[in-house]
Amino acid sequence: MLACTGWLVAPPYAFSGPFGGPAPLLILSTRTDHATPLANPFALSRLHRGSAVVVQESVGYCALLSSVSQCTYGIVREYFHTGALPANGTVCEAECAPGIPYKACPGLLGS
């Protein structure tokens, strides 16, 4: 299941391609993603002129689901509302990250 399927917000535009062309994409990544190395988001960004990568200082796959970061949430909110992008390579700190033994993060989906 995709966590974003129930979102009631949609951008005022829709990207339909071409992939590898100029597109104002917002690309999110965590610093330590076990599935997608950090080099990959930057490689994707180089294919899409005008895009931006936001690196969240957390561990796990999917920045929005791996930890809580008001910085990341704010950037996504602004992008959905206006299409504005931060500087490429912007870094956001995480306020909370699940831990071992399990420690829930208030506001994190599934906590």
pLDDT tens-digit readout, 34-52? 888 999 999 999 988 899 9
Tell me, yes or no, whether 11 lies in a domain.
no
pTM here is 0.74
The whole-angstrom separation of Cα 22 and Cα 17 is 9
DSSP code of residue 96: B
Number of domains composing the chain? 1
Tell me, yes or no, whether 28 lies in a domain.
yes
Whole-number pLDDT of residue 1? 45
- The answer, yes or no, to whether residue 106 has pLDDT greater than 80, is no
Q: Which of 66, 70, 64, 67 is nearest to 27 (CA)?
A: 64
Tell me, yes or no, whether 12 lies in a domain.
no
The CB density around residue 31, as the number of other CB atoms within 10 Å, is: 15
**What residues make up the domain containing 60?**
23-106
**Residue 21 corresponds to which tokens in the numbers above?**
């062309």
Tell me, yes or no, whether 68 lies in a domain.
yes
Tell me, yes or no, whether 54 lies in a domain.
yes
**Residue 97 corresponds to which tokens in the numbers above?**
């990250």
The whole-angstrom separation of Cα 26 and Cα 57 is 17
Tell me, yes or no, whether 50 lies in a domain.
yes
